[in-house]
């Protein structure tokens, strides 16, 4: 990391991390500037976050100042970061078995928030290629899919290419290999893997702040702490759900009814596509599960 403080000026950049009242801001040229936040941010209760796009001023031979924080596109609660463009949903091709319902729910929330999903199938070294093919086929119409192994290194160049041009956070169920993948991509990270000694280290983990790691070619950033939860999760109306399924899109235009839920309605283009094998049966069944959950939640809300 180069710290630049040899000139005065106004720039825009992205906060990589905050430590002890200092913020480290990456500018367009790949230089990192040490900055403090202007006192007025504290007055109006704004805390600069990793991922924030900021205007900052630099002074000769001293730290700079964050002058303005651009409106956030989104804000995650865990890890606490702003302006995530993409979430890499990691699943395992072997154990633990991919929790596809969790994947589908994550994808729905991401699409709604305007964040791109990327499905990362890890542990491909330890699974039959046919099993990986099946998993990939189910999501190939939904979002980009990459097949990788943190252990053997296969697919890591493709994963790196997919991370280019955006700010990505890794998410997914426990033990799928998120930490292993981050370590394989960024060896200096040395995150713990396998859940070993996590308990003993809990104190350290709760105080650790998320940080953005910059790709070698400065083409993108990755949040060093896996996880994904919005600060304010908005409830989704059941009628909205279908439109968040990009693999349903072409077929839904053939539904007889406007606002078809693709559930019990006759002449439903989505159900026809499922029968023809154009949409996977599993993905459709999970859609119905999520639809039902949203309907129940809605009833509770209006009770």
In the complex, least distance from residue 267 CB atom to Zn ion, rounded to whole angstroms: 8
Contact in structure between 14 and 52 (CB atoms under 8 Å) = yes
In the complex, least distance from residue 224 CB atom to ligand GDP, rounded to whole angstroms: 12
- Give the one entry of Zn ion, ligand GDP, none that residue 150 binds, where binding means its C-beta sits below a cut-off of 5 to 8 angstroms depending on kind: ligand GDP
Among 25, 148, 163, 270, binds Zn ion (CB under 5 A): 270
Q: Which residue is nearest to ligand GDP, using beta carbons?
A: 177
- Give the one entry of ligand GDP, Zn ion, none that residue 34 binds, where binding means its C-beta sits below a cut-off of 5 to 8 angstroms depending on kind: none
Interface positions, 56-75, toward Zn ion (CB under 5 A): none
> Tokens 């154009």 appear where?
278
Exposure b/e, 11-28, CB count within 10 A at least 16 = b: bebbbbbbeeeebbbbbe
Angle in degrees, CA 181, 79, 206, rounded to 5 = 100
Contact in structure between 202 and 195 (CB atoms under 8 Å) = no
Distance CA 241, CA 220 (A): 31
In the complex, least distance from residue 175 CB atom to Zn ion, rounded to whole angstroms: 37
Distance CA 67, CA 64 (A): 9
Q: By CB under 5 A, is residue 255 in contact with Zn ion?
A: yes
C-beta closer to ligand GDP: residue 126 or 128: 126
C-beta closer to Zn ion: residue 178 or 262: 262
Interacting residues of 274 by C-beta distance below 8 A, sequence separation 6+: 280, 281, 284
Q: By CB under 5 A, is residue 251 in contact with Zn ion?
A: no
In the complex, least distance from residue 195 CB atom to ligand GDP, rounded to whole angstroms: 6
In the complex, least distance from residue 264 CB atom to ligand GDP, rounded to whole angstroms: 38
- Which residues contact Zn ion (rule: CB under 5 A)? 255, 260, 262, 268, 270
């Amino acid at each position: 990391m180069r710290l630049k403080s040899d000139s005065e000026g106004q720039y825009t950049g992205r906060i990589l991390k905050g430590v002890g009242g200092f913020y480290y801001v990456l500018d367009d040229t790949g230089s990192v500037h040490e900055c403090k936040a202007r006192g007025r941010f504290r007055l109006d209760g704004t805390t600069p976050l990793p991922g924030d796009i900021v205007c900052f001023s630099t002074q000769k031979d001293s730290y700079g100042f964050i002058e303005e924080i651009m409106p956030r596109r989104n804000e995650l609660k865990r890890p606490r970061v702003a302006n995530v463009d993409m979430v890499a949903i990691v699943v395992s091709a072997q154990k633990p078995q991919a929790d596809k319902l969790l994947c589908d729910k994550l994808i729905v929330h991401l699409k709604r928030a305007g964040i791109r999903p990327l499905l990362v199938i890890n542990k491909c070294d330890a699974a039959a290629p046919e099993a990986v093919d099946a998993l990939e086929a189910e999501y190939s119409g939904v979002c980009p899919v990459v097949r990788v192994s943190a252990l053997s290194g296969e697919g890591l160049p493709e994963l790196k290419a997919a991370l280019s041009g955006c700010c990505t956070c890794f998410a997914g169920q426990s033990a799928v290999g998120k930490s292993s993948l981050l370590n394989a991509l960024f060896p200096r990270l040395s995150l713990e893997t396998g859940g070993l000694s996590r308990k003993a280290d809990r104190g350290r983990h709760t105080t650790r702040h998320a940080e953005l790691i910059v790709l070698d070619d400065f083409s993108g950033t990755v949040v060093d702490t896996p996880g994904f939860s919005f600060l304010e999760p908005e409830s989704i109306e059941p009628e909205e759900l279908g439109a968040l399924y990009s693999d349903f899109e072409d077929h839904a235009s053939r539904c007889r009814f406007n606002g078809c839920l693709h559930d019990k309605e006759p002449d439903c283009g989505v159900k026809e596509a499922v029968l023809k094998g154009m949409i996977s049966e599993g993905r459709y069944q999970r859609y119905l599960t999520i639809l039902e959950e949203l309907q129940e939640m809605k009833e509770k809300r209006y009770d």
